[in-house]
Chains A and B, each alone.
Chain A
Amino acid sequence: MPELPELNPVIHGKLRLALLSLLVGVEEAEFTWLRSKTGSTDGNLGAQLLKLEEAGYVAVEKKFVQRKPQTLYRMTEAGRQAFIEYVQSLKQMLGGAIG
């Protein structure tokens, strides 16, 4: 019997997985947009984004637009690769259970 792959624990968290899934489809996204799409609180969202940043999966850019602070997040190449590997492992683990 072939050995099943391990799922990346950094990505496996529900909110972190949702964030990476959102970021994979866009070039960059504002903190407020990510908050509205996930329905998360500022504190939880900030903490999960920090974990992804520390893992090197997202890059953060802080700037001022019309004197208002703006925090932009984008997925890094390492994050994209890890996300692809996670999805492949997930599909492999589910095997015949998905159509």
Chain B
Amino acid sequence: MTANAEELELKDRLSLIESMIAEGRRTTQSYGWTFVLWGVAYYVAILWAGLSHGYLAWPVTMTCAALLTAILCMGRRCSHPPTTTGRALGALWSGAGISMFIVLFSLGYSGKMGLHIFVAVICGMLGSVNASSSMILKWKLQFACALVWWATTIYACFGKGNYLMTVFLAATFLCQIAFGIYLMIREARARRQGGNHA
């Protein structure tokens, strides 16, 4: 084999390593649908609570969304291998979800819940978990989402109640639904680009 052919073969091996590592990592990034699902769940709960003043709107919608997420995640786990990053992100979101459920359910049940507290808690927690996730993934766009959630938390503490729900709905649309759709498009594009190399 000539020196040039040998160098080409070695370069081919290096590019094979890079593409396969990227293929393995891709499995941690297919979670755009969860953002959309939870964004829609918030809208459903707000609409339900607003129309019928039902105290069950939030607990029922959130439980359904959590069950749906768990079922879909279990299905995905069957076809995708677990990664350390994926497990770290899963633990982060599950922990935050359980904390939010406990705090909000307890506040609601004890009668101490108010719109300002409700939005401040949800947005504060979502800001925290999005920021942590963005640091793990080194992803600036998700950190921008965290900033939007934190800004909404500050508004919930200092702003007027009249616009609070509108601000919360806008943040939900931007950081859950729009961000989730963008993520899904990115994932679909990445899947199309990925092929077999060996």
Contact = CB atoms under 8 A, between A and B. Distances in A.
Contacts of A93: 10
A59 interface: no
B90 to A, nearest CB: 12
Nearest to B79: A33
Interface stretch (B80-88, B115-123, B176-184): B80-88
B23 to A, nearest CB: 6
Contacts of A40: 198
A94 B14 contact: yes
B119 to A, nearest CB: 38
B125 to A, nearest CB: 28
Interface in B12-28: 13-14, 16-17, 20-21, 23-25, 27
Instruction: Determine the interface band of chain A, counting residues with CB < 8 A from chain B.
Output: 20 to 34
A28 B82 contact: yes
B11 interface: yes
Contacts of B24: 21-26, 37
B197 interface: yes
B196 interface: yes
Contact of A33 (B10, B20, B80, B198): B80
Interface string B1-44: 00000010011011011001101110100000000000000000
**Secondary structure call for the A interface:** helix
A66 B11 CA distance: 43
Interface in A1-60: 12, 14-15, 17-19, 21-30, 33, 37-40
B153 to A, nearest CB: 35
A26 B24 CA distance: 6
Contacts of A15: 198
B27 A26 contact: yes
Contact of A39 (B10, B11, B196): B196
Contact of B84 (A12, A27, A30, A38): A27
Contact of B25 (A12, A25, A90): A25
20 contacts: A14-B13, A15-B198, A17-B17, A17-B20, A18-B197, A19-B198, A22-B21, A24-B21, A25-B83, A26-B27, A27-B81, A27-B84, A29-B81, A33-B80, A37-B24, A38-B197, A87-B14, A93-B10, A94-B7, A94-B14
Given A21-B20, A39-B198, A90-B13, 16 more contacts: A14-B16, A17-B13, A21-B16, A22-B21, A26-B24, A27-B81, A30-B81, A37-B20, A39-B196, A39-B197, A87-B14, A87-B17, A90-B17, A94-B10, A94-B14, A97-B11
Interface of A: 12, 14-15, 17-19, 21-30, 33, 37-40, 87, 90-91, 93-94, 97-98
Interface pairs A-B: 9 shortest CB-CB: A25-B24, A39-B196, A21-B20, A18-B198, A29-B81, A26-B81, A38-B198, A21-B17, A27-B82
